[in-house]
Amino acid sequence: MQEANSQGPTERPPLTAKILNEGVVLLLDKPLTWTSFDVVRKVKNTLRPPKIGHAGTLDPLATGLLILCTGKKTKEIDQIQAQEKEYEGTFRLGQTTPSFDLETAVDLEQACDHLTEADIQAAVATFLGKIEQIPPVFSAVKVDGKRAYELARTGQEAEIKAKTVEIKAFELTRIALPEIDFRVVCSKGTYIRSLARDLGVALGCGAHLTRLVRTRIGQYKLEDAWTIAALEAQRPPRPAGEAERPPRERRERIRPARAGLDFYASQHAAPPAASGPDLPLHPEGTPSA
């Protein structure tokens, strides 16, 4: 819990009922496969704040910074949501999926081993600045009053309009074909999965997102976030006279909200590991623009 970086994570005050009631901006490190709602529910059940909301969702197959606000701080949710975002992750070149990530199976494979670092850097550079981006069909964007992913999973056509987003920074931190690691700083509403699709199109080989970590939202940083385990340690004592529920009812069970995560779980026992031959980067370890 931190509104700036004036104090380190170990100096955070305890999340008492008084602090939560007055209002706090709570930074959480979202685990893989948890939905944003799962995290909100966990905080509700653990800390019992009277009022809570999240400042922007994060896909179940992404990890990293998720911001929750309690009490009077819920009035700042729109302001926090509007701030720029920073991500790190991995694109897999040479393969596409309908969801543009690991939620769905690979539907097309193309060669990518002919690409050079110069080819990839040139394509990356074309996405800097304001661009028109079409959100994924497997997303929460509304089409005729329904969520796009609801239509996609039933095989219905969904025409999603492009919108203007801004890519403020797009850097490659590792090239190990068929994988590339990246850092992106972008405006609100940017879909990194769509960026993977569009980069794959620009390179002529297809691509999809295999790993995504949100590291920053405005001034708020992942390094200052609470882990779920640390949050659990803040659970207040049970009020006197309140009966203890049976273990089965009390135990938290975080269930994936999206059907596609069943496919992910069947294919991946652990987050995907990097592999492939390395291409040289610049001496600093990060390519120049």
Active site residues: 59
- Which residues touch 188 (CB under 8 Å, ≥6 apart)? 56, 81, 82, 83, 84, 85
What CA–CA distance (Å, rounded) separates 245 from 94?
A: 51
280/218 Cα distance (integer angstroms):
32
Helix, strand, coil share (%) of the chain residues, nearest 5: 25, 25, 45
| Rounded Cα–Cα distance for residues 237 and 45 (Å) | 13
User: Do the beta carbons of residue 137 and residue 147 sit within 8 Å?
Assistant: no
| Cβ atoms 67, 107 nearer than 8 A | no
| Of the candidates 46, 10, 47, 4, the residue with the CA atom closest to the CA atom of residue 254 | 46
Q: For 170, how many CA atoms within 13 A lie in the half-sphere containing its CB?
A: 23
